[in-house]
Amino acid sequence: MLALVSPALLVILLLIVLPVGWLAWQSIYHDGFTLEHYRRILSEDIYWRSFALTFEISLFVTVLALVLGYPVAYAANAVPKAWSVVILALVLLPFWTSVLVRAYAWLALLQRTGVINQFLRYIDVIGEPLALVHNTFGTVVATVHILLPFMVLPLYATMQKIPNDLMQAGASLGASPAFTFFRVFLPLSLPGVLAGSTMVFVLCLGFYITPELLGGGRTVMVSMLVSRNVELYNQFGAASAVAVVLLLSVLLIFFVVSRFISLDRVLGQK
Amino acid sequence: MKSLSPARIALIVACALVLVYLILPVLIIVPISFSSARFLTFPPPSLSLRWYQQYFSNSAWMQATQVTLIVAAFTVVIATPLGVAAAYAISQSKLRIMRMIHMALLLPLVVPIIITAVGIFFIYARVGLVATLPGLVLANVMLGLPYVVISVLAGLQSFDPAQEMVARSLGMNRFRSFFAVTLPQIKSSVVAGAIFAFISAMDETVIALFISGGRYQPLTKRMFTALRDEIDPTIAAISTLMTAASFMLVLVASARQKKAA
């Protein structure tokens, strides 16, 4: 059995374990051991601010995705089968569209001469085009859009397992629909909330394409810090150290979450 | 549905708005791609196929498309058997180490792609795989493996291993019994996994940004570079085609998975 699994394992070892290990090594070793790169992350403003901004944006995106995703998952779970198929199809359609295509679509929608600005000027709501993109706003709008399915799908899967009898029991005992929702349904859906939020938050931490294309160079997320250090400045050690801190953050989050729910639940999507 | 309470109406409206938000950007690229205007104007002044013509007549775009298709095809051909073998071994073995190997095979989903990309770039730079076709294929095999493993494991869960035991007790060896008995029954999930690996390779951008170059640049890398410079409606045409291809493949895959379930 080990022989059967070894080719796949070899690919994983050579193409992800080794490269990440190499990064870790490079972050502390350059003609001798050094913690210089980590010291810089802690002391230099640009690194610090980028990490803070990335966590801030990720938190904001996660909350938005939860607020937008919960009603959709709830509706998909509550409506008759035929309708829930439609809702899920509409969630999955963008899910399987290339991230790059969706970033392009948001550029087309949000830019100064984009669809939304043209429409708003056409109906005379605004005189000057709004700055909707090449800033944090555009990044968040597109990132929430791209990550929303990762919230809706685990939420829906969890809600599917909540027995309907419980709500009926609540109603038969005289509880209002709102009361049964908040006291019975919502608590039972929390594992889905945690699974979805974890995935969205973690994916957002490492997001690259969207902030690069829609952030206009001002919203420097950690991923961009890594790529700039490699592509522009040839600062491999610095890039590696930033990558290691990012990876440790992600692994720590997964570890903490795994104390509460099974990781299969978080990763089971897509 | 019961009577429409205010809460219910609010829920329906909220859900509808979110669905519009989800679907609008995906749909908006279609009219842009068929517009005759050089710059974005909405609604398009008149319809034309000029951006599609531009795409199909541009040798750089065509070469990039070829690279993407070759890489995706090789990815499927390599990742599918590796993933099936691994999933089979994981489902059959009771060794404790298998559980860890299973987790290891899901690593590509856990590690942020930018980190994987930079790491692979450093390794490739040492062994001369930067800007090569095999380099691109290998990276995409790694990314595609989890999709095959997850899909096939799900398929194996609903398969009764006793059937294979029967085949073996009747004299087939393990190898033959797998191909004669097990594989036909999990075929749908294998195909679904292969399709997901194909789509993953087709859409992959970040690793390609770092390790591809020269003649071997996939479509996504060229699109990314073009997007940084200007908004060319040719990209809308390419996006429309890519999206249509993804949907078609997902439809096939989900029809397959339904059959399996």
CATH number at residue B169: 1.10.3720.10
Which candidate in A50, A61, A96, A207 is best for mutational testing of the B interface (most B CBs within 10 A)? A96
Contact A227 B118 (CB under 8 A): yes
* Residue A17 counted as domain residue: no
* Residue A7 counted as domain residue: no
pTM (2 d.p.): 0.89
**Residue pair A249/A58 in contact by the 8 Å Cβ criterion:** no
Nearest to A7 among B11, B82, B246 (CB): B82
Distance from CA of A43 to the nearest CA of B (A): 22
Structure tokens at A46: 């640009």
* Region label for A58, one of left (φ > 0), alpha (ψ between -120 and 50) or beta (otherwise): alpha
Query: Does A243 reach chain B within 8 Å, measured CB to CB?
Result: yes
Mean pLDDT of A155-181: 85
Coil/strand/helix, residue B200:
helix
**Residue pair B203/B220 in contact by the 8 Å Cβ criterion:** yes
* Residue B88, CA distances (Å) to A25, A81, B38, B80, B147 in order: 34, 33, 53, 12, 14
* Residue A29 counted as domain residue: no
With CA atoms as reference, the chain B residue closest to A118 would be: B42
Q: Report the alpha-carbon distance of residue B145 to residue B86 in Å, rounded.
A: 9
* Residue B29 counted as domain residue: no
Q: pLDDT per residue over B142-190, tens digit each?
A: 999 999 999 999 899 888 878 888 888 888 888 888 888 888 888 989 9
* Residue A4 counted as domain residue: no
Q: Which of B55, B72, B75 is nearest to B222 (CA)?
A: B55
What is the CB neighbour count within 10 angstroms for residue A43? 9
pLDDT at residue A205 tops 90: yes
Nearest to B106 among A91, A107, A267 (CB): A267
* Residue A57 counted as domain residue: yes
* Residue B170 counted as domain residue: yes
Domain CATH code at residue A99: 1.10.3720.10
Mean pLDDT of A25-46: 85
Domain interval for residue B160: 58-260
Nearest to B22 among A94, A223, A268 (CB): A94
A229 CB-near residues (< 8 Å, 6+ apart): A235, A236, A238, A239, A242
Over chain A, what is the mean pLDDT? 88
- Positive or negative: CA dihedral B216, B218, B224, B230: positive
Distance from CA of A183 to the nearest CA of B (A): 17
Q: Which residues of A110-133 are buried (b: 16+ CB within 10 A; e: fewer)?
A: bbeebbbbbeeeeeeeeeeeeebb
Could you say which residues from 92 to 151 on chain A have a Cβ atom under 8 Å away from some Cβ of chain B? 92-94, 96-109, 111, 113-115, 118-119, 142, 145, 148-149
Mean pLDDT of A133-156: 92
* Residue A225 counted as domain residue: yes
Q: Report the alpha-carbon distance of residue B107 to residue B110 in Å, rounded.
A: 5
**Residue pair B135/B121 in contact by the 8 Å Cβ criterion:** no
Report the number of distinct structural domains present in chain B. Answer: 1
Query: Does B28 reach chain A within 8 Å, measured CB to CB?
Result: yes
Confidence of residue A180 (pLDDT cuts 50, 70, 90): confident
Q: Which residues of A touch B42 (CB under 8 A)?
A: 115, 118-119
Amino acid identity of residue A195, one-letter, is A
Domain interval for residue A200: 37-267
Per-residue model confidence (pLDDT) at position A270: 38
Supply angle C-alpha A48, A46, A43, rounded to 5: 55
Over chain B, what is the mean pLDDT? 88
* Residue A115 counted as domain residue: yes
Exposed/middle/buried for residue B229 (C-beta within 10 Å: 0-12, 13-18, 19+) = exposed
Report the number of distinct structural domains present in chain A. Answer: 1
* Residue B200 counted as domain residue: yes
* Residue B45 counted as domain residue: no
Q: Report the alpha-carbon distance of residue A60 to residue A210 in Å, rounded.
A: 15
Mean pLDDT of B63-68: 95
* Residue B160 counted as domain residue: yes
* Residue B195 counted as domain residue: yes
* Residue B88 counted as domain residue: yes
ipTM of the complex as predicted: 0.88
Q: Which residues of A touch B250 (CB under 8 A)?
A: 92, 96
Q: Which of B132, B120, B147 is nearest to B206 (CA)?
A: B120
Q: pLDDT per residue over B91-123, tens digit each?
A: 988 888 898 999 999 999 989 999 999 999 999
Amino acid identity of residue B138, one-letter, is L
Contact A108 B118 (CB under 8 A): no
Per-residue model confidence (pLDDT) at position A269: 46
Query: Does A252 reach chain B within 8 Å, measured CB to CB?
Result: no
* Residue B249 counted as domain residue: yes
